[in-house]
Amino acid sequence: MAVTIKDVAKKAGVAPSTVTRVIHDSSIISQKTKDKVRAVMEELNYYPNLNARSLASKKNSIIGLVFPDATDAFYQNPFFPTVMRGLNEVGANSNYSLQLTTGNDLTSRLNSVQRMIHGRQVDGLIFLYARKNDPILEFVHQQKFPLVVIGKPAIENIPFVNNNNQQMAQDMTQYLVEKGYNKIGFIGGDPEQQFINDRLLGYKEALSNANIEFQEDWVYNDLSFLPEVGYELAQHIAKEQDFDAFVVADQFVATGFKEGWNAVSETEIPVITFHSFHMHENANFSSDPYVNINAHELGKGALEMLLEVIQNQEEETERVFQRYVDHEIIG
């Protein structure tokens, strides 16, 4: 059998409650006792049983991660590993573990989240996506369970960490305008995703500011986030339209778009896009400008915020949690 707190207590000649206090480095325990107990813990190779701890203390030090539908092409985006690295970093430093919600469809994902909450498995949840109608988000919110959304939640007063997608797209579009381009197209994505709509808004705003008359057919939306989608679209557009440049809302689509364009056209097409990671650190590799969406910071910030939300909940103070991470155009 594994070594328990009782074994340590007996060998150290103290009470189990004293051992607990030493483990948590309680300030009321004498240094002498601490040293003695710690020596015994080391000697017996003691590790606390986390299930017992959670049961007794009603805290888990585990955070649940809610992913989008696995069928969603968005899931394939390199955005995710980078976000995870950010979450990971904070988790390791604060001794929180990360647990995944499982399930490929809405029903099983909701089940998984309910299990986590009702089963007292996690202390809080982070949503790695934001979409318009999300029964899972609604459920968690209605339970008043601590959560943070990465992205822009469709419900008011929910803590979130996000890019300022509208401002980003506006800056990017303006960047193209300043380069002298006039007829600038917008390649979107899944309009259920909030960030797509925000980027579209920013794009329109920039055109308006530049006194360029926006036209509905400059926007290509309702697309999957896949390179081949961009590829086909580009071939289509290149032959029939006379755009000067494009704002492309997704990195993968942009990759395909460039390739598709080059396959049928002699002239290069200027494109600006959003990157979730530095695929192109080598300046020679791709000269297109982009904005880094700073997925690492989103992950890091989300978990940091959630830990505050959890603490805040205990203190029952009223605070609003929301944060936009900085961005910058890499030209």
Q: Which residues bind to a copy of itself, rule: CB under 8 A?
A: 2, 47-52, 54-55, 60, 62, 67, 70, 75-78, 80-82, 84-85, 88-89, 91-92, 96-100, 102-104, 108, 112, 114-116, 118-121, 226-228, 231-232, 235, 252, 256, 259-260, 277, 279-282, 284-286
Q: How far is CA 16 from CA 2, 21, 57, 64, in A?
A: 16, 9, 15, 31
Of 22-30, 130-138, 211-219, 295-303, the window that binds DNA (rule: CB under 7 A) is: 22-30
Interaction between residue 18 and DNA (CB under 7 A): yes
- Smaller CB separation from a copy of itself, 142 or 284: 284
Q: Is 25 left (phi over 0), alpha (psi -120 to 50) or beta?
A: left
- Smaller CB separation from a copy of itself, 67 or 203: 67
- Smaller CB separation from DNA, 12 or 158: 12
Residues in the chain: 331
User: Which of 165, 163, 171 is CA-nearest to residue 207?
Assistant: 171
> What CA–CA distance (Å, rounded) separates 107 from 113?
10
Do residues 73 and 225 make contact, with C-beta atoms less than 8 angstroms apart?
yes
* Minimal distance, residue 205 CB to a copy of itself, in Å: 33
- Smaller CB separation from DNA, 20 or 167: 20
* Minimal distance, residue 139 CB to DNA, in Å: 20
In sequence order, the 6+-apart residues with CB closer than 8 A to the CB of 27 are none
Instruction: Give me the torsion for CA of 226, 228, 232, 235, rounded to 10°.
Output: 110
Choose the contact partner of 256 out of a copy of itself, DNA, none; CB within 5 to 8 A by kind: a copy of itself
Interaction between residue 1 and DNA (CB under 7 A): yes
- Smaller CB separation from DNA, 32 or 144: 32
What character string, x for contact with DNA (CB under 7 A) and - otherwise, covers 39-78? -------xxxx--xx-xxx---------------------
Choose the contact partner of 164 out of a copy of itself, DNA, none; CB within 5 to 8 A by kind: none
* Minimal distance, residue 113 CB to DNA, in Å: 18
CB atoms under 10 Å from CB of 220, counted, come to 22
Of 11, 21, 131, 300, the residue at the interface with DNA (CB under 7 A) is 21
Please report which helix (H) or strand (E) contains residue 150, including its range: strand 147-150
User: Which of 132, 10, 116, 11 is CA-nearest to residue 66?
Assistant: 116
Pairing, β 97-100 against β 124-127:
unpaired
Would you state the structure tokens that stand for residue 35, as one six-digit string? 């040293």
* Minimal distance, residue 172 CB to a copy of itself, in Å: 22
Q: How far is CA 133 from CA 73, 96, 138, in A?
A: 18, 30, 9
CA angle 277, 282, 288 (to 5 degrees): 70
> What CA–CA distance (Å, rounded) separates 201 from 321?
24
- Smaller CB separation from DNA, 1 or 283: 1
Local structure of residue 281 (DSSP, 8 states): -
Of 25-33, 143-151, 188-196, 300-308, the window that binds DNA (rule: CB under 7 A) is: 25-33
Choose the contact partner of 132 out of a copy of itself, DNA, none; CB within 5 to 8 A by kind: none
- Smaller CB separation from DNA, 32 or 239: 32
CA-based torsion, 25, 31, 36, 42: positive or negative: positive
Interaction between residue 85 and DNA (CB under 7 A): no
Binding site for DNA (CB under 7 A): 1-2, 4-6, 13-18, 20-21, 23-24, 27-30, 32-33, 46-49, 52-53, 55-57
